[in-house]
Amino acid sequence: MSEKFRLDKGGLINRNKKLSFKFNGKKYSGFEGDTLASALIANGVHLVGRSFKYHRPRGFFGAGVDEPYAIVQMNRNNEVDPNVRATEQELFEGLEAKSVNCWPNVDFDIGAINNFLGKFFPAGFYYKTFMWPKSFWYKVYEPIIRKAAGFGEASIKHDKEKYEHKYEYCDLLITGSGPSGLASAYAAAQNGAKVILAEDKSRFGGSLLTSEVTIGNQSGKEWAEKIISELKLMPNVIVKNRSQVFGYYDHNMLVMSERVSDHLPKTEKYIPKQRLWYIRAKEVIISSGSIERPLVFGNNDTPGVMLSSAAKEYLKIYGVLVGKKPLVFTNNDSGYETAIEFKKNGIDPIVLDTRKSPNSEIIKEAKDLNINIKFSYVVVAAKGYKKVKSADIAKISDDKKNVSNIENIGCDCICVSGFWTPTIHLASQSGNKTKFKDEIDAFIPSQSKQKETTLGSANGIFTLEETLKTSFEKGSELSKQITNKENKIAVPTVVEKKSSNHDKFWCVPLPEGKNYKRFLDFQNDVAVSDIQLALREGYRSIEHVKRYTTLGMATDQGRTSNLNGLQLVSDIENKVVPQVGHTTFRPPYSPVSIGAIVGREIGKHSKPTRKSPMHYWHEKNNAVFVDAGVWLRPRYYKQGNENLFEASKREAKNVRQNVGVCDVTTLGKIDIKGPDSAEFLNRVYTNAWLKLPVGKARYGVMLREDGIVMDDGTTTRISENHYHMTTTTAQAANVLSHLEYYLQLVWPELNVNVVSSTEQWAGAAIAGPKSRDVLQKLFPDLDLSNEGLPFMGYMEGNLFGVNAKIYRISFSGELAYEVNVESDNGNYMWEKIMEIGKDFNIQPYGTEALSTLRIEMGHVAGSELDGRTIPYDNSLDGLVSKKKDFIGKRSLSKAAYVASDRQKIVGVIPLDKKTSIPEGSYIVKDAKAKLPNPKLGHISASCWSVEYDNPFSLAIIKDGRNMIGQKLFAMSPLKNKTIPVQIVSSHYVDPKGERVRS
Amino acid sequence: MLHIKCPHCGLRSQNEFSYGGDATVKRPELNKEISDQDWDNFVYLRKSPRGKHLELWQHISGCRQWIKVERDTLTHEIFKTLKANEEV
Ligand SMILES: [Zn+2]
């Protein structure tokens, strides 16, 4: 198909490079420099989608970020990209895109029946129509609506594209490269400021590219090109196109998404798809321009009805005619620019101007060109279904309330201009208190909260002369404050033909007997009648009207609909717009892909995975890993066809019978030094620390001030003023902050220093009755007898040339040691342990066996110290000093904590000694009691006891101390299990703790 | 994202810090009698002022120092930052 709507010359496209592309499976051609939208229009394609609610045909309405209709699904590099605006997507060779929101296809859409069933889809239709019967919602209504509504389809595959993040600091960030952006950037750059100039589109220059103005002795476009090329050469300036500043956050942090390769075909080279910039700017200049406002009339959503500025942009930038029989419908001078552009290209437009007798240079020029202009005229309704075929036009009375002399005239497009809406989104996001400017019927920024200044038409200034003057001034003034330099720039003279007056008219009244749908929100299908209905039903707050009707809630954030919606509400309510107020704009200004937000941090964590120095040994030896915070720990080492249960049982059994070794590198370690260390520990832990001798370790529990257990672990006195603290893996970071808090803020008089040494040490726990034999062979020179290195003793040794620290501590309840070496030697140590341990049947064990061992010993861990328990709940009474004060002690005397039926840890065994009890099960007295069944407590941890070969669990239950021996029930509604159980002591194995001391 | 001036390191982004609550709360002295009411007030009760608030932050990914930040809870304006041992 040839490009029938492409002009022979003109535009900024590269006519030497023809590109082919596919839309809805059909092949078309365009040129380099086209957007998908301009190329489709050049090919005469105006039907690109279906509307959200009524599935009415949708074409193109704008030419950029303001586009509410032309949303397509892209296929690039075999990756789908849903919800791409065709008006923003640049064309590349081989581009493939398809329509969304139509089923089975864009030409024949079953959902369009909604259009004829319109009375079932009024405002708030979700809330009303599908309420009853309730069961129908899930089974009938929702699946059908889901299929018919929504936009593009997201891929369920992993996104293989690359995304990057970048951090940047600057003096001035300028958002938009139109006249105000260029002038302020230039002035600031001349003053030596570090400037970032961001342009959303591929071409710099904004409105200067399409308006017929003269700046100095150059055209607007030439002037823009000159300024940009100068800025690009300046070392203090970063100029970025295809880069949209979409979010304005606190303390002048702005986020910009740069479309690095969205406009390119697939390449082998590494190029990120998008890059997210976090920019901290001293000053921000918002030069985001303005968006043309639609006029509201019957069937104003028909393909072919579009913004007049868009029609002009297609002509001047892409050399494309949006139609050959254009109607221009305007309430201001902007429509004339479009009409004149048509005329210059040999097309005869008809201009309908709502004004009675306007006067300006550009109107005179249009008259001189013999353009057919009808004053006090309006479009009543567009005619045609998939494309405009004609329009009913009429004379409008002076009070704008009545139409007369309705006639039908042929046309193939209607270019509308209802004046301009400043793009104040970023200013609003920054916290600016915007105000309504009556002359332009729109909001502009007013009182700044952050360091932000809005210039040009974004600030409601619609004459080029004033825009340039104020922008040069502001750019210079703001940069001078930062750089203390000033290079005066003469403001060039400007010639502009159009005036900035407009007619305060925006909605064409319905002729008698007609009931045309007049759309306000083109993306969400919100019509005038929907707003009227919402107000009739009692909605008043604009925020409520918005949510009820979905006005302005689509992905375009109501760029073309908000103000007309507000006008309507204020008209009906007889209020002025500022009283109605507008809804808040929130970031992002336009949709940002999830990939860009994630950047390179893809995968299961957005944090790096931490691995112990022995990780690769575990990997080689069939370890199955489990996440422990950000660490990866071996859960079990698989032998043959073993499953988790079998392997962990084997590993745990081997610890009880022979000897096992477990990687405990992930435990938090904190080095504590200083003369007041003992006193500090004495305040931090619940037990006594002042008399711990050098070379001894002690188990300790620390509380929060509210008495809840924060963490537990052993701390060893290495020398007089030097301690080595261990924490649980999960709490390591919190404990360090906790210690620092007390040392820096509460007791700064204590002379103590703490520092994390977690990553400095690799640790191996050697546990089991044969662990001493292994250790003795590792350290043949040391006296490792029960007297030489008793339980809770500490020693330093030399492990085949490597310095090692030996702690005789035990989590498994067996005779056990923990050996630490510097991280770099971790793997060496591990291999030595395995080599020497072979004679003693050593086996590595993972976290699952570790859990089994500690559960059947009744040792508490994270599942008991869960942020809800105090020391007494965990039978740690012996560790709570009666004599000294410590963090959280005062809370322990609270009535609830000392209640006689306070919860306590117990052991739980199923009566059948076979059924494992799911963790999290409730303990109840009566399994058949009426719901809600009073809950005594819950199962905190479960294992298969290797000592007794039956299931064993720990539970924390009310009045636990008096429950021993009772028969109760464990109920798991999730697993649908009710298990009769017996309560026993939590110390199931070796209750006297003889093994660890053997 | 806030921009916080650590008195030890200079201006840094909020993501290097972690919040630590009201900086005017004083922990009761150890080994001193204290009523249930006063203790509960210390442990649980915090003001949530609209406006100026002196609060603690820790420069957790930096110098690890706890610092005091005087901030407007409504506008996020930061008036002053202080070292742990400094008073407003
Ligand atoms: Zn710092």
Could you give the CA distance from residue A521 to residue A528 in angstroms, rounded to a whole number? 9
pLDDT at A800 over 80: yes
Task: Please report the pLDDT score of residue A163 as a whole number.
Answer: 93
Contacts of B60 in chain A (CB under 8 A): 737
Contacts of A278 in chain B (CB under 8 A): 1
β-strand partners of A507? A296
**Residue among B30, B35, B65, B75 with most chain A CBs within 10 A, to mutate:** B30
Type of residue numbered A98: K
Span A796-807, average pLDDT: 97
Specify if A743 maps to a domain.
Answer: no
Task: Please report the pLDDT score of residue A142 as a whole number.
Answer: 57
- Looking at the fold, whether A285 and A411 belong to one and the same domain comes out as no
Could you give the CA distance from residue A46 to residue A322 in angstroms, rounded to a whole number? 9
Domain-terminating residue out of A537, A572, A589: A589
Interfacial A residues in 875-894 facing B (CB < 8 Å): 884-886, 890-891, 894
**Residue among B3, B29, B31, B43 with most chain A CBs within 10 A, to mutate:** B43
Task: Please report the pLDDT score of residue A664 as a whole number.
Answer: 97
Span A833-842, average pLDDT: 98
Q: How far is A449 from chain B (nearest CA, A)?
A: 8
pLDDT tens per residue, range A410-429: 999 999 999 999 999 999 99
Task: Please report the pLDDT score of residue A909 as a whole number.
Answer: 98
Which pLDDT band holds residue A608 (cuts at 50, 70, 90)?
confident
Span A342-360, average pLDDT: 96
Q: How far is A211 from chain B (nearest CA, A)?
A: 39
β-strand partners of B78? B71
- Find out whether A686 and A714 touch, Cβ atoms under 8 Å: no
pLDDT at A113 over 80: no
- Find out whether A302 and A323 touch, Cβ atoms under 8 Å: no
Task: Please report the pLDDT score of residue A161 as a whole number.
Answer: 86
pLDDT tens per residue, range A121-137: 566 655 555 555 556 55
pLDDT at A110 over 80: no
- Looking at the fold, whether A111 and A211 belong to one and the same domain comes out as no
Contacts of A280 in chain B (CB under 8 A): 3, 13
Specify if A883 maps to a domain.
Answer: no
Q: Which two tokens stand for residue A413?
A: 């497009």
Q: Domain-by-domain residue ranges, chain B?
A: 1-24+53-88
Specify if A66 maps to a domain.
Answer: yes
Contacts of A706 in chain B (CB under 8 A): 43-44
Write down the residue that tokens 């003469």 correspond to.
A490
- Looking at the fold, whether A337 and A320 belong to one and the same domain comes out as yes
Specify if A819 maps to a domain.
Answer: no
Higher pLDDT, A956 or A117: A956
Helix axes A677-684 and A732-741, enclosed angle (nearest 10): 110
Burial zone of A591 (CB within 10 Å; 0-12 exposed, 13-18 middle, 19+ buried): middle
**Residue among A890, A891, A897, A898 with most chain B CBs within 10 A, to mutate:** A890
Domain that holds residue A537: 524-557+561-589
Burial per residue of A978-991, b for 16 or more beta-carbon CB atoms within 10 angstroms, e otherwise: bbebbbbebbbbbe
Chain A residue with CA closest to B17: the answer is A737
Which pLDDT band holds residue A1 (cuts at 50, 70, 90)?
very low
- Looking at the fold, whether A987 and A954 belong to one and the same domain comes out as yes
The share of chain A scoring above pLDDT 90, in percent, equals 81
Which pLDDT band holds residue A280 (cuts at 50, 70, 90)?
very high
Going by C-alpha positions, the residue among A558, A572, A555, A494 that lies closest to residue A526 is A558
Q: How far is B2 from chain A (nearest CA, A)?
A: 5
- Looking at the fold, whether A491 and A533 belong to one and the same domain comes out as no
Question: Which one of B3, B39, B60 has the shortest CB-CB distance to A280?
Answer: B3
Task: Please report the pLDDT score of residue A125 as a whole number.
Answer: 59
Name which of A150-159, A353-362, A910-919 the model is least confident about: A150-159
Name which of A37-51, A449-463, A549-563 the model is least confident about: A549-563
- Looking at the fold, whether A491 and A502 belong to one and the same domain comes out as no
Burial per residue of A913-946, b for 16 or more beta-carbon CB atoms within 10 angstroms, e otherwise: eebbbbbbbbbbeeeeeeeebeebbbbbbbbbbb
Type of residue numbered A2: S
Q: Where are the alpha helices (DSSP H) in A319-380?
A: 334-344, 361-368
Span A930-940, average pLDDT: 94
Could you give the CA distance from residue A562 to residue A839 in angstroms, rounded to a whole number? 80
Span A636-645, average pLDDT: 97
Q: Do B43 and A706 touch (CB under 8 A)?
A: yes
Contact status of A748 with chain B (Cβ, < 8 Å): yes
Chain A residue with CA closest to B20: the answer is A741
Q: Which two tokens stand for residue A361?
A: 């240079």
- Looking at the fold, whether A491 and A465 belong to one and the same domain comes out as yes
pLDDT at A150 over 70: no
- Find out whether A420 and A293 touch, Cβ atoms under 8 Å: yes
Q: How far is B66 from chain A (nearest CA, A)?
A: 7
> Which numeric CATH code is attached to B1-24+53-88?
3.30.2270.10
Instruction: State the complex-level ipTM.
Output: 0.98
Question: Which one of B2, B43, B58 has the shortest CB-CB distance to A891?
Answer: B43
Contact status of A282 with chain B (Cβ, < 8 Å): no
Task: Please report the pLDDT score of residue A553 as a whole number.
Answer: 81
DSSP A958: T
Span A793-818, average pLDDT: 97
- Find out whether A736 and A757 touch, Cβ atoms under 8 Å: no
pLDDT tens per residue, range A439-453: 999 999 999 999 999
Going by C-alpha positions, the residue among A107, A118, A111 that lies closest to residue A145 is A111
Contacts of B58 in chain A (CB under 8 A): 737, 740-741
Write down the residue that tokens 């270019």 correspond to.
A415
Q: Which two tokens stand for residue A491?
A: 């403001």
Could you give the CA distance from residue A733 to residue B58 in angstroms, rounded to a whole number? 12
DSSP A326: E
Task: Please report the pLDDT score of residue A106 as a whole number.
Answer: 64
Question: Which one of B3, B20, B85 has the shortest CB-CB distance to A251?
Answer: B3
B46: alpha, beta or left? (left if phi > 0; alpha if psi -120 to 50): beta
- Looking at the fold, whether A529 and A504 belong to one and the same domain comes out as no
Specify if A804 maps to a domain.
Answer: no
Going by C-alpha positions, the residue among A484, A514, A508, A553 that lies closest to residue A379 is A508
Task: Please report the pLDDT score of residue A159 as a whole number.
Answer: 82
Task: Please report the pLDDT score of residue A265 as a whole number.
Answer: 87
Higher pLDDT, A907 or A550: A907
Q: How far is A588 from chain B (nearest CA, A)?
A: 15
Higher pLDDT, A75 or A333: A333
Span A58-79, average pLDDT: 89
Q: Where are the alpha helices (DSSP H) in A74-141?
A: 113-116, 125-128, 134-136
Contacts of B39 in chain A (CB under 8 A): 890-891
Higher pLDDT, A776 or A53: A776
DSSP A508: P
Span A878-888, average pLDDT: 97
Name which of A318-322, A543-547, A887-891 the model is least confident about: A543-547
- Find out whether A715 and A723 touch, Cβ atoms under 8 Å: yes
Task: Please report the pLDDT score of residue A439 as a whole number.
Answer: 92
Specify if A965 maps to a domain.
Answer: yes
- Looking at the fold, whether A457 and A432 belong to one and the same domain comes out as yes
Task: Please report the pLDDT score of residue A100 as a whole number.
Answer: 82
pTM of the predicted model, to two decimals?
0.87
Which pLDDT band holds residue A103 (cuts at 50, 70, 90)?
low
Q: What is the mean pLDDT of chain A?
A: 93
Specify if A108 maps to a domain.
Answer: yes
Name which of A24-33, A114-123, A403-412, A561-570 the model is least confident about: A114-123
Helix axes A847-857 and A644-657, enclosed angle (nearest 10): 60
- Looking at the fold, whether A457 and A535 belong to one and the same domain comes out as no
Going by C-alpha positions, the residue among A518, A521, A524 that lies closest to residue A149 is A524
Contact status of B41 with chain A (Cβ, < 8 Å): no
**Residue among B64, B67, B86 with most chain A CBs within 10 A, to mutate:** B64
Which pLDDT band holds residue A138 (cuts at 50, 70, 90)?
low
How many domains, chain A? 5
Q: How far is B50 from chain A (nearest CA, A)?
A: 16
User: Per residue of chain B (88 residues), what is the pLDDT tens digit?
Assistant: 999 999 999 999 999 999 999 999 999 999 999 999 999 999 999 999 999 999 999 999 999 999 999 999 998 999 999 999 999 8
Pairing state of beta strands A950-957 and A937-945? Answer: antiparallel
Task: Please report the pLDDT score of residue A109 as a whole number.
Answer: 62
CATH of the domain at A441: 3.50.50.60
Distance in Å from the first CA to the final CA of chain A = 91
Contact status of B20 with chain A (Cβ, < 8 Å): yes
Could you give the CA distance from residue A82 to residue A85 in angstroms, rounded to a whole number? 9
- Looking at the fold, whether A301 and A285 belong to one and the same domain comes out as no
**Residue among A276, A671, A744 with most chain B CBs within 10 A, to mutate:** A744
pLDDT at A151 over 80: no
Residues in chain B: 88
pLDDT at A749 over 80: yes
- Looking at the fold, whether A302 and A282 belong to one and the same domain comes out as no
Chain B residue with CA closest to A884: the answer is B31
Contact status of B10 with chain A (Cβ, < 8 Å): no
Name which of A262-276, A393-407, A483-497, A842-856 the model is least confident about: A262-276
Specify if A711 maps to a domain.
Answer: no
Burial per residue of A316-333, b for 16 or more beta-carbon CB atoms within 10 angstroms, e otherwise: bbbbbbbbebbbbbbbbb
Higher pLDDT, A54 or A98: A98
A46 CB contacts (<8 Å, ≥6 apart)?
A40, A59, A60, A303, A304, A386, A387
DSSP A745: I
pLDDT tens per residue, range B69-88: 999 999 899 999 999 999 98
Span A225-253, average pLDDT: 97
Which pLDDT band holds residue A111 (cuts at 50, 70, 90)?
low
The CA distances from residue A967 to A858, A916, A963, in Å, are 20, 16, 9
Q: Do A885 and B30 touch (CB under 8 A)?
A: yes
Question: Which one of B20, B76, B78 has the shortest CB-CB distance to A741?
Answer: B20
Write down the residue that tokens 């976090």 correspond to.
A278
Chain A residue with CA closest to B71: the answer is A251
Could you give the CA distance from residue A728 to residue A680 in angstroms, rounded to a whole number? 20
Map residue A755 onto helix, strand or coil: strand
Q: Which two tokens stand for residue A750?
A: 């204590």
CATH of the domain at A58: 3.10.20.440
pLDDT at A821 over 60: yes
